[in-house]
Chains A and B, each alone.
Chain A
Amino acid sequence: MKIQLDQEKCVVSGQCLLAAPEVFDQRDEDGIAFLLTESPGADTVAEVRHAAAVCPVLAITLED
């Protein structure tokens, strides 16, 4: 799986980081989310899917 994150859309809800802290983090200066990895391991796939589902601005897209 490959993840894309559109930082232009991000509204700093923090939801992705809560769902999958191994994969998402937030910038110090403004809290905008960024990816710690673009290709998460098999053990975090469910969490990443959840993150994409709860992102309020649909900024997270997944490719299988």
Chain B
Amino acid sequence: MTIQEFPMARAAGCPFDPPPALHELQREAPLTRVRLANGTTPWLVTRYAEQRALLSDPRISADVRHPGFPAGASVDRHRVSIGFVLMDDPEHSRLRRTVTAPFAVKRVEAMRPLVQSIVDGLIDEMLDGPRPVDLVQAFALPVPSLVICELLGVPYTDHDFFQDNSKHLVNRNASPAERREAFQIFNAYLDDLIGAKTAAPTDDLLSQLAARIEAGELARAEAAGIATLLLIAGHETTANMIALGTLALLENPDQLTLLRETDDPKLIAGAVNELLRYLNIPHGGRRRVALADIEIAGELIRAGEGIIMANDIGNRDPSVFTDPDTLDLTRDARGHLAFGFGAHQCLGQPLARMELQVVYGTLYRRIPSLRLATSIDRIPFKHDGSVYGVYELPVTW
């Protein structure tokens, strides 16, 4: 049997569905070998149960420096040194636990009025401005950017700098060097700000990190790395869910109507989970390397071999979700894997969910005639990035 190349291409005209080749591989077996651009042949896990089992197995490692790690174009090696996302326990847990408090469900809930006012303010500006407008620049990117500013404690006077620099991080035309520079500018900026908060603490996450440095629990570079990780991890992901989610709803008008006509928080929360499941924007797969031999589903993954969990196809596993290729906002999609699974499962998920609840619960009610200002075949999709989405979404009303 020939080994297929990974990642695979989506089918033309099906921008919301995983590549057809993934569907076929999933039908054939829970896991199989694939070939990466660098010639290596890691395991690709396509079924839901095996993805969950492996992601919660302590015998796998997220350490990108391991020789067997299945790095691809979508693994940004310059991010290696930041935060804890590419570390294993106990180091991972030690660092992650320094910033878990503000992500507790009730703490996040307390930020809802603030997020609502950010969302309302941006919609006011859109309604007062010219049409058509690019929803990505006018709305989808500023929402998470302003929210993370509040969470970290970025002074109001720096918000413009913050948003401008964020745009370089996600700009399609930026070279890898330019993106790296934008990233380093943030890292240096956050490092300085942590210094300032050490001298004059305020009530925010950066001040808490500063206090931990003072207490000898964190090195300054570790603290700046964690702050940068929070910024990067929550930015493009949330923005893409807003823009791509809106496009998916515009293409499924009956589902959009459900959202436009409800103020039931349960329905809206369910809709957010279903859109996360259906779109599964981190489409490069969760990447790991086996630290020991692991027997699973009749196969033997040997110590040192790479493993890629393709959660986009896992979320379309028909043994878990009936009629999985249909967007159905009323289904129970809570078990989806769009935030990953295991010790690295998204730390920002309560915040991301709340932001998306506010956005999906507000945007289409306040602009009921929102529609595409172009045809869908002209929308540029992020096929290349590690996070799927749209570069632009021209809309009008």
Contacts and interface: CB of A to CB of B under 8 A. Distances in A.
Contacts of B96: 11-12
A40 interface: no
Given A14-B349, A14-B350, A50-B334, A57 B342 contact: yes
Contact of B335 (A32, A54, A57): A54
A48 to B, nearest CB: 14
A54 B335 CA distance: 6
Contacts of B341: 56
A54 B211 CA distance: 33
Contact of A14 (B103, B340, B343, B344): B103
A31 interface: yes
A26 B97 CA distance: 13
Given A14-B350, A56-B345, A58-B56, A28 B103 contact: no
A30 B102 CA distance: 8
B106 interface: yes
Interface string B174-218: 000000000000000000000000000000000000000000000
Contact of A54 (B104, B334, B343): B334
Main DSSP-derived SS at the A contact region: loop
Contacts of A23: none
A14 B56 contact: no
Contact of A12 (B56, B104, B335): B104
B376 interface: no
Contacts of B335: 53-54
A53 to B, nearest CB: 7
Contacts of A13: 339, 345-347, 349
Interface of B: 55-56, 93, 96-97, 100-108, 334-335, 339-347, 349-350
